[in-house]
């Protein structure tokens, strides 16, 4: 026997070539034992089921043997039932019924297995006896032990072996012929039989132990498999739940998609904007009813063809320009184009178009929306024309405003001039030049007479003094005249400045230039200074910007003069009339020129309507000034805004102008 | 203290095992109980010599045709004849309750390589005369015509197996001076009683 076999003998599982039992983790011991118990129950159940058939069959066999070979016992010519038959029936019944009852009532009890084992080897003894001690029948013992081994419980084998041993030992001692077929059997013969039985039982016990180890190992694997299966089951259940949820979500999404598609279809069909898809070649891949209606195309059906049938809607090289621009930018927003309709008319359309990603080898396709703006274009054209007219009128009105201001200031100066002239006239009319003329006539004649007259005549004696006083008078008169003339000259210079300012503004009419806002304010203030002075209005300057703005000087002057006049009007009857002129940075890239007053203020409800055409709060106003001002400001890419904290709180008008670069 | 259930289990197991032991003991007791046997009558000597070939021993066995033990007795007879190597002749007396089963004239049976004539014993008289009251009983007359043995060849009812009687027969056949062994136990069914013939019963 080789060392390997010896090693295998000490380790039955190794001898059988199977893996040794795996170590059972502490956490899985209970499941393994549970599985092992379940497994053993199955094994016991199978063995029980076998013996449920085998025991009764052996009973029938024993009865059959007795009935065939020894049915009757004879005494001469008379017979009776043979004791073998009675024994087979009675002993067989005793061997079968109790174990089967235990199998039925206690299928897993170890007592049941022991009872079955005893019954099985009992049948061996019975059959040996009934067969007349035939040595061949002894083989039944070995078969019985093998059958009992099906329980895989070595303890049961021990019980069966003990029964067999006791039976053979007892019979060998007292009835050797019944078991060995000889009248005398030595102890060696009993030992020989026992050795063979021990040989088989040893193998079977070893098999039982190995089998149980294998069962344990199988249960360990099964426990792990069950654990894995449980985990898998949980995962499958979770995944199934997730899939069901996902399916429901998808079904819901599908329904929503269908509804969305339907809504989309309805939207496209009923959209008041054209939706289309077209190729560079002019083929219209899709066009909703709106755009078909606009272009005079068939309302339903496919729009086959390309340049030949649909290319005609484009005018001139519009399509080429359109595609060039679209290919350059990939997207066009607010692209206006005029199409020729299939009915021979024209339609203006505003398109928002996007270039689709080009498929390899496919045509260039764009998609987008188109809106019929024919009416809008026409209305816009009319509005533009009206605006032009309005601007023209505004310009003229502005010029008139400025001219009025100029004339007003000039008039004021002329009034002063007129007063001076009237004063001069009055003084000229009442001057003492005739007195000088008469005194000169008194001094004409003979020198002697003149001397006589000067010395002796009362009048003559007063004449030198009179002339002296007259001379002083004329000197004084000359000084006054010179002063008045100087005043007149100043007034004329003032008039000239006003006219020069107006002329310089008028020269720049319609021209955007870089001009310092300070200069604009000063010009406007110069035109209105006389009026402010006369009405006792204080002017406060707060200039924080020294740069230039881009503006039409004349328009700015027009706006500022208008604002200053409005401020002056708002300060009428105000005790502490004050106008604050501010130049400050505005929004990014803008400068704010603000005219603030502390006058009557503006109600909130009027603020929104302040720049509307025709709105005015002045009894003699025509509601045109501020409207034209805001138009002019916007024309210069600026803006005009008004703010007021309410009646009595004054008002501020802010002109925003773009900063010069 | 064993529980009530354990008590019942042990009691039940004890009763059951006792029943089994009793049953087997009864069977064994029946199997080991010998039948009656008697010494051959004086008149049997002449009958035996008449059927014996000169100078050869003869073993006559009386059997009951329906007895289950007869097969074992015949088997042991065959074994003996085989072991005797033709040194002994044999004769079978067969009693049958049914006369229709009586052996035909000249019917023989080969046992142990020896052709054994069958003689009918319709009423069991011949057997009774030979002292064979139980099936399986045998009588040996030696070559000199002396009855040297009578009794059974088996050890139990229906059980085969070499018995001391067989060894004694072989010794008697081989050695005419060997000690005779009369009244060996015989195991089988009783043969019919013969009216007016009451041999001396040995057992």
- B102-130 pLDDT, tens digit per residue, is 888 889 999 988 999 999 988 888 898 89
B76 → chain A, closest CA residue? A181
Query: What percent of chain B stands above pLDDT 70?
Result: 93
Q: What is the pLDDT of residue A383?
A: 85
Q: What is the pLDDT of residue A257?
A: 87
A4-24 mean pLDDT: 38
CA dist., res. A233 & res. A239, Å (int): 9
| CB of A322 closer than 8 Å to CB of A330 | no
Same domain, B176 and B102: yes
| CB of A656 closer than 8 Å to CB of A587 | yes
B151-178 mean pLDDT: 84
Q: What is the pLDDT of residues A236-263, one digit of tens each?
A: 888 889 888 889 999 998 898 888 888 8
**Max mean pLDDT range (A227-236, A368-377, A387-396, A411-420):** A368-377
A203 touches chain B (CB under 8 A): no
In angstroms, how far is CA A486 from the centroid of its own chain? Answer: 80
Q: What is the pLDDT of residue B197?
A: 62
| C-alpha distance from A27 to closest chain B C-alpha (Å) | 35
- The region of weakest confidence among A218-222, A301-305, A484-488, B58-62 is A301-305
- The region of weakest confidence among A341-355, A363-377, B154-168 is B154-168
Q: Which residue has the tokens 């299928």?
A: A107
**Max mean pLDDT range (A88-102, A480-494, A544-558, B150-164):** A88-102
| C-alpha distance from A177 to closest chain B C-alpha (Å) | 6
CA dist., res. B129 & res. B200, Å (int): 10
Tell me: pLDDT of B100 over 70.
Answer: yes
- The region of weakest confidence among A114-123, A238-247, A495-504, B80-89 is A495-504
Same domain, B150 and B52: yes
- The region of weakest confidence among A291-300, A324-333, B118-127 is A291-300
Tell me: pLDDT of A183 over 70.
Answer: no
Verify whether the Cβ–Cβ distance A178 to B31 is below 8 Å.
yes
Tell me: pLDDT of B62 over 80.
Answer: yes
Query: What percent of chain A stands above pLDDT 90?
Result: 19
Verify whether the Cβ–Cβ distance B13 to A115 is below 8 Å.
yes
In angstroms, how far is CA A236 from the centroid of its own chain? Answer: 33
User: Residue B199 falls within a domain, yes or no?
Assistant: no
B13 → chain A, closest CA residue? A115
Same domain, B20 and B52: no
Tell me: pLDDT of A419 over 50.
Answer: yes
Q: What is the pLDDT of residues A39-66, one digit of tens each?
A: 888 889 999 999 999 999 999 999 999 9
Verify whether the Cβ–Cβ distance B32 to A74 is below 8 Å.
no
CA dist., res. A454 & res. A436, Å (int): 16
| CB of B135 closer than 8 Å to CB of B69 | yes
Q: What is the pLDDT of residue A435?
A: 82
Q: What is the pLDDT of residue A332?
A: 92
- For residue B64, give the nearest of A74, A133, A177 by CB distance: A74
Q: What is the pLDDT of residue A8?
A: 38
**Closest by CA position to A93, among listed B20, B86, B74:** B20
Same domain, B24 and B74: no
| CB of A286 closer than 8 Å to CB of A269 | no
> What pairing do the DSSP bridges indicate for beta strands A331-340 and A346-355?
antiparallel
B124-149 mean pLDDT: 90
- Three-state SS annotation for chain B: CCCHHHHHHHHHHHHHHHHHHHHHHHHHHHHCCCCCCECCCCCHHHHHHHHCCCCCCEEEEEEECCCCCHHHHHHHHHHHHHHHCCCCEEEEEEECCCHHHCCCCCCEEEECCEEEEEEECCCCHHHHHHCCCECCEEEEECCCCCEEEEEECCCECCECCCCHHHHHHHHHHHCCCCCCEEEECCCCCECCCCCCCCCCECC
Q: What is the pLDDT of residue B89?
A: 93
Confidence of residue A17 (pLDDT cuts 50, 70, 90): very low
Tell me: pLDDT of A307 over 80.
Answer: no
Verify whether the Cβ–Cβ distance A76 to B31 is below 8 Å.
no
Does A401 or A237 have the greater pLDDT score? A237
Same domain, B24 and B89: no
User: Residue B193 falls within a domain, yes or no?
Assistant: no
Q: What are residue A21's DSSP bridge partners? A: none
Verify whether the Cβ–Cβ distance A181 to B67 is below 8 Å.
no
Q: Is A513 helix (H, G, I), strand (E, B) or coil?
A: strand
Contacts of A95 in chain B (CB under 8 A): 20
A415-431 mean pLDDT: 81
Q: What is the pLDDT of residue A579?
A: 93
A75 touches chain B (CB under 8 A): yes
CA dist., res. A299 & res. A271, Å (int): 14
A177 → chain B, closest CA residue? B155
Confidence of residue A119 (pLDDT cuts 50, 70, 90): very high
Consecutive H or E run containing A277: strand A274-279
- For residue A181, give the nearest of B23, B64, B159 by CB distance: B159
Confidence of residue A4 (pLDDT cuts 50, 70, 90): very low
User: Residue B48 falls within a domain, yes or no?
Assistant: yes
Contacts of B23 in chain A (CB under 8 A): 87, 90-91, 94
Q: What is the pLDDT of residue A583?
A: 92
Confidence of residue B139 (pLDDT cuts 50, 70, 90): very high
Same domain, B103 and B174: yes
Confidence of residue A1 (pLDDT cuts 50, 70, 90): very low
Confidence of residue B200 (pLDDT cuts 50, 70, 90): low
Same domain, B120 and B161: yes
User: Residue B83 falls within a domain, yes or no?
Assistant: yes
- For residue B189, give the nearest of A75, A84, A91 by CB distance: A75
User: Residue B195 falls within a domain, yes or no?
Assistant: no
Verify whether the Cβ–Cβ distance B19 to A70 is below 8 Å.
no
A461-476 mean pLDDT: 86
C-alpha distances in angstroms, A661 versus A509, A544, A549, A590, A658? 21, 18, 8, 11, 9
| C-alpha distance from A111 to closest chain B C-alpha (Å) | 8
Confidence of residue A354 (pLDDT cuts 50, 70, 90): very high
State which residues form the domain around B146: 44-184
Contacts of A74 in chain B (CB under 8 A): 64, 66-67, 97, 135, 189-190
Question: To probe the interface with A, which of B15, B22, B23, B122 has the most A CB atoms within 10 Å?
Answer: B23
| CB of B38 closer than 8 Å to CB of B201 | yes
Verify whether the Cβ–Cβ distance A133 to B161 is below 8 Å.
yes
What average pLDDT does the structure give for chain B? 86
Total number of residues shown for chain A? 661
User: Residue B127 falls within a domain, yes or no?
Assistant: yes
Contacts of A181 in chain B (CB under 8 A): 155, 159-162
Tell me: pLDDT of A304 over 60.
Answer: no
Burial class (CB in 10 A: 0-12, 13-18, 19+), A445: exposed
B27 → chain A, closest CA residue? A87
Q: What is the pLDDT of residue B202?
A: 55
Q: What is the pLDDT of residues A576-604, one digit of tens each?
A: 899 999 999 888 889 999 999 999 999 98
Verify whether the Cβ–Cβ distance B192 to A70 is below 8 Å.
no
| C-alpha distance from A240 to closest chain B C-alpha (Å) | 52
Question: To probe the interface with B, which of A76, A113, A136 has the most B CB atoms within 10 Å?
Answer: A76
Same domain, B24 and B98: no
Q: What is the pLDDT of residue A227?
A: 81
What average pLDDT does the structure give for chain A? 82
Same domain, B27 and B56: no
User: Residue B52 falls within a domain, yes or no?
Assistant: yes
Tell me: pLDDT of A7 over 50.
Answer: no
C-alpha distances in angstroms, A624 versus A27, A85, A407, A620, A644? 97, 145, 20, 12, 20
Contacts of A115 in chain B (CB under 8 A): 13, 16
| C-alpha distance from B163 to closest chain A C-alpha (Å) | 6
Query: What percent of chain A stands above pLDDT 70?
Result: 89
User: Residue B160 falls within a domain, yes or no?
Assistant: yes
Instruction: Kindly state the tokens that stand for A406.
Output: 């100029």
Q: What is the pLDDT of residue B122?
A: 86
A126 → chain B, closest CA residue? B24
Same domain, B92 and B139: yes
Number of domains in chain B: 2
Same domain, B151 and B94: yes
Q: What is the pLDDT of residues A134-149, one digit of tens each?
A: 778 888 988 999 999 9
**Closest by CA position to B38, among listed B138, B124, B168, B133:** B133
A82 touches chain B (CB under 8 A): yes
Contacts of B100 in chain A (CB under 8 A): none
Verify whether the Cβ–Cβ distance B68 to A72 is below 8 Å.
yes
Confidence of residue A21 (pLDDT cuts 50, 70, 90): very low
Interface of A with B in 108-127 (CB under 8 A): 111, 115, 118, 122, 125-126
| CB of A135 closer than 8 Å to CB of A93 | no
Verify whether the Cβ–Cβ distance B19 to A183 is below 8 Å.
no
Q: What is the pLDDT of residue B125?
A: 87
Q: What is the pLDDT of residue A544?
A: 83
Same domain, B10 and B93: no
């Amino acid at each position: 026997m080789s060392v390997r076999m010896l090693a295998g003998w000490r380790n039955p599982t190794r001898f059988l070539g199977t893996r040794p039992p795996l170590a059972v983790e502490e956490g899985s011991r209970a499941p393994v034992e549970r599985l092992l118990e379940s497994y053993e129950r199955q094994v016991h159940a199978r063995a029980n089921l076998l013996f449920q058939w085998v025991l009764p069959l052996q009973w029938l066999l024993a009865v059959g043997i007795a009935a065939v070979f020894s049915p009757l016992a004879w005494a001469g010519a008379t017979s009776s039932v043979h004791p073998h038959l009675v024994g087979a029936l009675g002993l067989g019944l005793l061997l079968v019924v109790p174990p089967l009852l235990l199998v039925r009532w206690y299928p897993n009890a170890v007592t049941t297995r022991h009872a079955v084992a005893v019954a099985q080897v009992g049948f061996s003894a019975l059959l040996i006896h009934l067969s007349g001690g035939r040595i061949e029948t002894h083989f039944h013992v070995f078969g019985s032990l093998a059958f009992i081994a099906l329980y895989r419980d070595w303890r049961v084998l021990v019980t069966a072996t003990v029964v067999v041993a006791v039976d053979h030992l007892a019979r060998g001692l007292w009835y050797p012929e019944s078991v060995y077929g000889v009248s005398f059997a030595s102890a060696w013969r009993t030992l020989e039989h026992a050795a063979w039985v021990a040989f088989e039982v040893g193998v079977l016990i070893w098999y039982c132990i190995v089998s149980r180890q294998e069962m344990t190992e199988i249960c360990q694997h099964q426990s792990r498999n069950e654990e894995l299966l449980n985990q898998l089951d949980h995962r499958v259940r979770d995944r199934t739940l997730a899939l069901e949820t996902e399916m429901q979500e998808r079904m819901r999404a599908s329904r929503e998609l269908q509804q969305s598609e339907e809504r989309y279809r309805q939207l496209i069909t009923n959209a008041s904007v054209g939706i289309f898809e077209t190729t560079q070649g002019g083929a219209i891949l899709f066009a909703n009813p709106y755009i078909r209606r606009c272009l005079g195309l068939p309302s339903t059906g496919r729009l086959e063809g390309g340049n030949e049938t649909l290319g005609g809607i484009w005018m001139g090289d519009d399509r080429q320009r359109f595609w060039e621009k679209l290919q350059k930018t990939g997207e066009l927003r607010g692209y206006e184009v005029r199409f020729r309709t299939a009915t021979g008319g024209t339609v203006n359309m505003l398109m928002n178009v996007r270039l689709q990603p080009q498929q390899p080898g496919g045509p260039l396709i764009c998609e987008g929306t188109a809106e019929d703006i024919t009416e809008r274009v026409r209305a816009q054209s009319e509005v533009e024309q009206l605006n032009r007219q309005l601007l023209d009128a505004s310009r003229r009105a502005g010029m008139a405003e400025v001219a009025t201001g100029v004339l007003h200031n000039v008039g004021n100066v002329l009034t002063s001039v007129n007063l001076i002239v009237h004063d001069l006239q009055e003084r000229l009319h009442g001057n003492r030049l005739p007195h000088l003329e008469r005194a000169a006539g008194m001094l004409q004649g003979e020198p002697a007479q003149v001397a006589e007259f000067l010395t002796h005549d009362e009048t003559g004696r007063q004449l030198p003094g009179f002339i002296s006083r007259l001379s002083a008078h004329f000197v004084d008169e000359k000084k006054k005249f010179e002063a008045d003339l100087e005043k007149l000259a100043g007034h004329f210079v003032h008039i000239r400045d006003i006219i020069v300012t107006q002329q310089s503004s008028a020269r720049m009419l319609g021209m955007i230039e870089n001009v310092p806002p300070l200069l604009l304010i000063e010009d406007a203030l110069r035109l209105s200074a006389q009026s402010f002075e006369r009405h006792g209005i204080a002017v406060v300057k707060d200039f924080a910007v020294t740069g230039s703005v881009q503006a039409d000087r004349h328009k700015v002057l027009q706006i500022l003069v208008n604002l200053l006049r409005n401020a002056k009007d708002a300060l009428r009857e105000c005790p502490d009339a004050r106008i604050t002129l501010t130049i400050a940075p505005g929004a990014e890239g803008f400068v704010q020129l603000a005219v603030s007053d502390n006058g009557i203020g503006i109600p909130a409800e009027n603020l929104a309507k302040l720049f509307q055409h025709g709105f005015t709060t002045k009894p003699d106003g025509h509601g045109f000034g501020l409207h034209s001002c805001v138009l002019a400001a916007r024309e210069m890419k600026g803006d005009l805004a008004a703010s007021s904290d309410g009646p009595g709180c004054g008002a501020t008008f802010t002109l925003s102008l773009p900063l010069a670069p | 203290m064993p529980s009530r259930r354990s008590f019942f289990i042990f009691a039940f197991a004890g009763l059951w095992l006792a029943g089994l032991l009793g049953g087997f003991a009864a069977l064994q007791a029946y199997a080991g109980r010998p039948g009656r046997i008697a010494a051959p009558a004086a008149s049997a000597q002449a009958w035996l010599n008449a059927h014996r070939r000169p100078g050869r021993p003869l073993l006559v066995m009386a059997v009951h045709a329906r007895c289950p033990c007869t097969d074992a007795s015949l088997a042991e007879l065959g074994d003996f004849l085989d072991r005797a190597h033709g040194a002994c002749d044999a004769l079978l007396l067969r009693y049958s309750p049914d006369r229709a089963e009586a052996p035909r004239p000249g019917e023989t049976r080969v046992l142990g390589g020896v052709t054994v004539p069958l003689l009918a014993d319709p009423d069991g008289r011949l057997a009774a005369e030979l002292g064979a009251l139980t099936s399986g009983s045998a009588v040996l007359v030696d070559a000199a015509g002396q009855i040297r043995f009578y009794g059974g060849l088996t050890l139990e009812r229906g059980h085969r197996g070499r018995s001391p009687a067989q060894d004694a027969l072989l010794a008697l056949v081989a050695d005419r001076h060997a000690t005779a062994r009369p009244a060996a136990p015989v195991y089988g069914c009783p043969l019919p009683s013969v009216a007016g013939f009451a041999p001396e019963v040995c057992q």
